A and B are shown apart, each in its own frame.
Chain A
Amino acid sequence: MLGTGIIKGMAQTAKNFVGSYSDPKYLTTVEYPEQRVPTKENNRNFPFLVFDGEEAMVGLRCVACQICEKECPPQCIYIEKDKNKKPDFVGKDQFQPAVFDIDISVCMSCQICVEVCPFDAIKMDTEFELSQTNRFDGLLINKHQLAKSNDYYRGIHPTEAAEIDAARAADVKKAAAKAAAKAKAEAEKKAKAAAEAAAKTEADAADTPES
């Protein structure tokens, strides 16, 4: 009959209206600036550079290999190599970036830089509140702004960070073992050389009596 649908609809909206005051099921709003939904682990936005330890510029994982710069589809990354090298996490001397800029007005958050980085140096951030009062501010981000600690990375993407940490720990162990083996070999070589040298001096001494 005409009108039954209207009454049914009115009942539903009345239920919504009354329910919004008593039942949280009917009022799902999260009042954003004051209340926040925790970000999901899979969430990703613009890239950032990971550093280990306390000092950002000392612990920066980036070795300025420029793979990401070349792979970046919209070409928003700009890298300049520094002339000075610095030791990386296994103690090997590596290049470091003198300039590492990302133009986030060009960046399309595709994550290709993260995929191609062999050093786990660049990762995706979850920061989304990037608004500025001036429309030209905050678009070109330099390496000091990009550098964020590994602890921060563990905080936003725990699973991924744990995997990388484990791999890097294994690398450090391997490098330490290698270094130890090398040191041992070197020590042996040195001892051998020393022994040889000693034998030689002895022989020389024997060769030149009362001179």
Chain B
Amino acid sequence: MEALLIAIKARILELAPEFLQFPLGHLLSITPVISVFAGIFALTTWIERKGLGRIQNRLGPNRVGPVGILQPVADGLKMIFKEDVVPRSADKIVHFLAPILLVIPTMLAFSVIPYGNRLVPIDLDAGILFFFAIGGSAELIVFMAGWSSRNKYAMLGAMRAIAQMISYEVPLILSSIVVIMMAGSLSLVDIVAVQTGGFWNWHVATPWGFVGFLLFLTAALAESNRSPFDIPEAESEIIAGHMTEYSGFKYALFFLAEYLGLFAMTGLAITLFLGGFHAPFPFLNWVPAPLWFFGKFAILVALFIWIRGTLPRLRMDQLMGLAWKFMIPMSLITFAAGATWHYAGKGLLAWILCTPMLLGSYVYLGTALTKGQKVSKRVYRFAD
């Protein structure tokens, strides 16, 4: 399948005149990425609403089209035709730029992820570095949106977003550094190549990889402002955070950027820990590699929806406590476990050394984090 796609691209490029080959080649790489992930975004909003509905013992959207499948179309049409309201005292230029700029880094993040054998838009030597550098600019843009709205809720939301994103970027990058260290390369293509073979060669099948994967997923949820870390938006507290003063298609762009950010993080998690586009068993190699990538992608997105349907939103201090007291020490210990794994020969001895090290620190840090917290049934003074 990848070979076919690459052959089609080469054939089209042959037909084009020479001065057009460079832009056309990149256009042919960019267009599928944007259209596929925008399509997945539309589908995900529907699946998410259906899934959350089922989790909450209701049906979810079922009015537009069969089983509500056309709901994203209806939502999109509504968003386009809605009035675009800009507050009179807003900083017009920044307010206008923020939603557009926010989509750019999230789109760029897809450019370094390998979707199949040789199927990567740009094979950068420092792909993962590019990914995080681009992802880091999203914080500034979120703050642009919050600041330019001239609304206290937008401002609060933007400040919360900055605090959260900066805190969680540390464990996110630390947990992926272990993978970089073990693979010996910053290129995502090389990191995937290290994990060839069956699922036992994936990084998630090692003690440090498993812990790193969980840390990465948690930090990815926080980075993309997903529940249970959605305090920058926190509907019940600050309306919609930095998106409060946005309406119509600009709001849709924020929404799109948020989901695309999550998808990019999911793609990176698959690449780093779940063997990228490789099949779980060598005899399944005949299945086209992008299908494996998108299969893993679907499972992780379903997991994110499941988590969103389960966990309540964290409080600001709990959020910060989790990042600084638990996740950052834990990712540093994962770092040490990775080194132990490497020098203990990646065999049984390495398992025996690494597992108690990680498990012990998990229990210790976990109890330290929850120490002094009394979990008891809530007593209402007036509501009973």
- A2-B57 in contact (CB<8A): no
CB A8 to nearest CB in B, in angstroms, measures 10
| The one of A2, A10, A21, A28 that contacts B307, using a Cβ cutoff of 8 Å | A10
Of A12-20, A61-69, A73-81, A109-117, the one touching chain B: A12-20
A residues in contact with B326, CB < 8 Å? 2
**Given A1-B363, A2-B326, A10-B306, A16:B311 Cβ within 8 A:** no
- B54-A2 in contact (CB<8A): no
A residues in contact with B51, CB < 8 Å? 17
Does any Cβ of B come within 8 Å of A3's Cβ? yes
Per-residue CB proximity of A101-141 to B under 8 Å, as 1/0? Answer: 00000000000000000000000000000000000000000
Per-residue CB proximity of A1-38 to B under 8 Å, as 1/0? Answer: 11100100110111011001100001111010000000
B residues in contact with A29, CB < 8 Å? 57-59
How far apart sit A9 and B54, CA to CA, in the bound complex (Å)? 15
**Given A17-B51, A26-B57, A28-B57, A2:B370 Cβ within 8 A:** yes
B353-372 interface (Cβ within 8 A of A): 362-363, 365-367, 369-370
- B58-A9 in contact (CB<8A): no
Does any Cβ of A come within 8 Å of B287's Cβ? no
**Count of B interface residues, CB-CB < 8 Å:** 21
A residues in contact with B310, CB < 8 Å? 6, 9-10, 12-13
How far apart sit A21 and B54, CA to CA, in the bound complex (Å)? 8
- A2-B366 in contact (CB<8A): yes
- A31-B59 in contact (CB<8A): yes
How far apart sit A12 and B57, CA to CA, in the bound complex (Å)? 12
| The one of A2, A9, A14 that contacts B311, using a Cβ cutoff of 8 Å | A9
CB B329 to nearest CB in A, in angstroms, measures 13
Interface of A is mostly: helix
How far apart sit A12 and B155, CA to CA, in the bound complex (Å)? 36
| From A3, A10, A17, A21, residue with most partner B Cβ within 10 Å | A17
A residues in contact with B370, CB < 8 Å? 2
- A17-B366 in contact (CB<8A): no
A residues in contact with B198, CB < 8 Å? none
Per-residue CB proximity of B43-71 to A under 8 Å, as 1/0? Answer: 00000000100111111001000000000
Interface of B is mostly: helix
- B306-A16 in contact (CB<8A): no
B residues in contact with A9, CB < 8 Å? 310-311
How far apart sit A26 and B56, CA to CA, in the bound complex (Å)? 9
A residues in contact with B366, CB < 8 Å? 1-3
Residue of B nearest to A26 (CB): B57
- A27-B58 in contact (CB<8A): yes
Residue of A nearest to B228 (CB): A6
- B367-A1 in contact (CB<8A): yes
A residues in contact with B363, CB < 8 Å? 1
CB B169 to nearest CB in A, in angstroms, measures 22
- B56-A27 in contact (CB<8A): no
| The one of B54, B311, B369 that contacts A20, using a Cβ cutoff of 8 Å | B54
- B59-A13 in contact (CB<8A): no
CB A43 to nearest CB in B, in angstroms, measures 23
B residues in contact with A20, CB < 8 Å? 54, 57
| The one of B56, B306, B369 that contacts A14, using a Cβ cutoff of 8 Å | B306
Per-residue CB proximity of B326-356 to A under 8 Å, as 1/0? Answer: 1000000000000000000000000000000
B residues in contact with A2, CB < 8 Å? 326, 362, 365-367, 369-370
B residues in contact with A28, CB < 8 Å? 57-58
Residue of B nearest to A12 (CB): B310
Does any Cβ of A come within 8 Å of B25's Cβ? no
How far apart sit A70 and B367, CA to CA, in the bound complex (Å)? 71
How far apart sit A1 and B365, CA to CA, in the bound complex (Å)? 10
How far apart sit A27 and B59, CA to CA, in the bound complex (Å)? 8
CB B25 to nearest CB in A, in angstroms, measures 44
A residues in contact with B54, CB < 8 Å? 16-17, 20-21, 27
B56-88 interface (Cβ within 8 A of A): 56-59, 62
Residue of A nearest to B365 (CB): A2
Per-residue CB proximity of B301-332 to A under 8 Å, as 1/0? Answer: 00000110111000000000000001000000
Residues of B participating in the A interface, judged by any CB pair closer than 8 Å: 51, 54-59, 62, 306-307, 309-311, 326, 362-363, 365-367, 369-370
A-B contact pairs, 8 of them (CB 8 A): A2-B362, A2-B366, A10-B306, A13-B55, A16-B57, A17-B55, A17-B306, A27-B58
Top 3 A-B pairs, shortest CB-CB distance: A2-B366, A20-B54, A13-B310
Excluding A17-B309, A29-B58, 18 further A-B contacts by CB distance (< 8 Å) are A1-B363, A1-B367, A2-B365, A2-B369, A2-B370, A3-B366, A6-B310, A9-B311, A10-B306, A10-B307, A12-B310, A16-B54, A20-B57, A27-B58, A28-B58, A29-B59, A31-B59, A31-B62
